[in-house]
Amino acid sequence: MITSGAVATGIANIAMDGTVLDTWFPAPQLSDEVVKSSTHRLGAADLTPQLLRQVILDEDRRVEQVAVRTSIEDLSKPAVDPHDAYLRLHLLSHRLVKPHQLNTKGLYELLHVVAWTNKGPCLPDNFEQLRTHLRVRGLIHVYAIDRMPRMVDYVLPAGVRIAEAERVRLGAYLAPGTSVLREGFVSLNSGTLGPCKIEGRLSSGVVIGAHTKVGLSASIIAAHDDSGQRKPLTVGERCHIDIAAGTVGVSLGNDCIIDRSILIAPDTPIDVPAENRRIQAWEISGRNNMHFYHHPDHSAVCVRRTERPGNDEGAATFTQLADVPDELAG
């Protein structure tokens, strides 16, 4: 986790009751010169002409658009307000920091439930009254009523393909060459470190390596710790999670395969036919060159080594290779 700070100038949508609906930061920056985390409003002299034109009172939405300057002293500390939280999400989607390099503890709770519309964010309470005013601008589309907005409405990272905008949250980290297909989903503080194809679900806290494919209806889900926060879960490079397969709380190394309809959890019993023994999935969490498959004669989940060029692990047993960190062993 990095300990430097960040600064950015942005436009915040603030409801008449003072609720911060969102904050857009077009050009966030990392900084080592911030002495205190804070957010303050900016005057006209502090803004570019482009940003100044966006400082308005939207009476139809009952929202004031204001210019703000947000500073974060230390990204390893929790966010202090909604502006701080939005800046962290922008840093991730702008690829200025990678997942797990900043503190997201309590971030979700700082965000308010918002009606996300094609006319801008609104308070969901008494929305039908707002709709009456907004209809003079044309048909109103409500995309969601949720805390988290779509990434593409704030950040459009270069070199990616996203088939359904609603399925990638602000705060997702997508490396160039990543394709999120129509049924794919990427949450905040998760993403890809290289070109990948995603047709399944990446929960918050999940990072996958380059050239990994997550099949249709597959799920990669990071487990929660005792405080309710997601534990980091990693999937290495060149892995293939087949249709309706997945892993919950078990990391994978490079060159791993999970066959169709197999879901791996820490306490999942895994047969190792080559060793004539049974282990639990957490014992081999994070290992390279693993192929999880169904036994041809019964429903047991088995594991064997993938045949990959350069596999130098030889004939070592899975248990010899399973030097698992303590935090993954629960």
> Pick the catalytic residue: 59, 64, 73, 199?
199
Note the pLDDT of residue 190. 97
Per-residue pLDDT of the chain (330 residues; tens, 9 = 90+): 888 999 999 999 999 999 999 999 999 999 999 989 999 999 999 999 999 999 999 999 999 999 999 999 999 999 999 999 999 999 999 999 999 999 999 999 999 999 999 999 999 998 999 999 999 999 999 999 999 999 999 999 999 999 999 999 999 999 999 999 999 999 999 999 999 999 999 999 999 999 999 999 999 999 988 877 889 999 999 999 999 999 999 999 999 999 999 999 999 999 999 899 999 999 999 999 999 999 888 889 999 998 765 444 433 455 444 433 333 333
Note the pLDDT of residue 306. 86
Note the pLDDT of residue 99. 95
Assigned architecture for domain 5-146: 2-Layer Sandwich (3.30)
Rounded alpha-carbon distances, angstroms, from residue 29 to 40, 90, 159, 221: 17, 10, 21, 30
Q: Report the predicted TM-score, pTM, of the whole model to 2 decimal places.
A: 0.90
Note the pLDDT of residue 329. 33
- Specify whether 327 is catalytic: no
Note the pLDDT of residue 299. 83
What is the phi/psi pair of residue 22, to 5°? -170, 170
Same fold: 5-146 with 151-328:
no
Superfamily holding 151-328: Hexapeptide repeat proteins (2.160.10.10)
Q: Parse the chain into domains and list their residue ranges.
A: 5-146, 151-328
